[in-house]
Amino acid sequence: MGVMDPFKGFGVTFSHMFRKVITTDYPFKPPVSAPRYHGRHILNRHPDGLEKCIGCELCAWACPADAIFVEGGDNTDEERFSPGERYAKNYQINYARCIFCGLCIEACPTRSLTMSNEYELARDNRQDLIFTKEQLLAPLLEGMSKPPHAMFLGETEKDYYLGALENPGTSAGAERAPLSDVDVLGSPA
């Protein structure tokens, strides 16, 4: 035990005063999550506004927590919500059950269901944690019109699915942002 030892010890502690603060300033500057972070879901739309979901229930079958409820309905020529025969008449995700594993988006055959990075989901009752189709659907961007309406991109499903492959930029929802040069916080990008 030397005389200087306590000073050495406190010196180590004191030197932390000059270190960079590592605390994240969460509610004021929310950190940017990893691009593939599993957040709340989005039900995407085709470029003309039709829903991509075809009501096949594969997401509900894949879900290990039974958090997804899908009820399919038949499209008719008068009332068309998605290209093809079927659409999701009722679609609910129970976030009080969802474990954000992403098996549902892997199962989705039309890339209708994807995930965003939004995670601020806490609510004060269980009812509000059940997201309905209205809450899950992507917003209508420019050039989209609200279903039900006819298929604007072409008569067959090929026009929808294969066209989207050639030109992924035209696909909508989670795959296309509103054409904007202003970012979320209002400052120019």
Partner 1 sequence: MGIEEKLPSGILLTSVEKLSNWARKSSFWGATFGLACCAIEMMAAGGPHYDLGRWGMEVFRASPRQADLMIVAGRVSQKMAPVVRQIYDQMPEPRSVISMGVCASSGGMFNNYAIVQGVDHIIPVDVYLPGCPPRPEMLIDAILKMREKVMIAPLGPNGRKMLDQRKADGKMPLVAAGAMPSSYRADPARRAQWEQAVREGREEQLRIENWMKAQNHLRDGGA
Residues near partner 1 (CB under 8 A) are 22-24, 26-28, 30-32, 35, 39-40, 42, 64-66, 94-101, 116-126, 128-129, 131, 134-139, 168-171, 174-180, 182-186, 189
In the complex, least distance from residue 52 CB atom to partner 1, rounded to whole angstroms? 14
Q: Fill in the amino acid letter for 90.
A: N
Q: How far apart are CA 90 and CA 133, in angstroms?
A: 7
Cβ closest to partner 1, residue 84 vs residue 93: 93
In the complex, least distance from residue 4 CB atom to partner 1, rounded to whole angstroms? 29
Cβ closest to partner 1, residue 75 vs residue 171: 171
Q: How far apart are CA 121 and CA 39, in angstroms?
A: 9
Identify the CA nearest to 60 among candidates 72, 71, 68, 48: 68
Nearby residues of 162 by Cβ (< 8 Å), 6 or more positions away: none
In the complex, least distance from residue 9 CB atom to partner 1, rounded to whole angstroms? 20
* 131 φψ region: left (φ > 0), alpha (ψ -120 to 50), beta (else): beta
DSSP letters for 3-16: TTHHHHHHHHHHHG
The full length of the chain comes to 189
Whose tokens are 């500057």? That residue is 29
In the complex, least distance from residue 23 CB atom to partner 1, rounded to whole angstroms? 5
In the complex, least distance from residue 5 CB atom to partner 1, rounded to whole angstroms? 26
Cβ closest to partner 1, residue 128 vs residue 155: 128
Cβ closest to partner 1, residue 2 vs residue 13: 13
**Phi, psi torsion values for 70, nearest 5 degrees:** -130, 135
Cβ closest to partner 1, residue 77 vs residue 181: 181
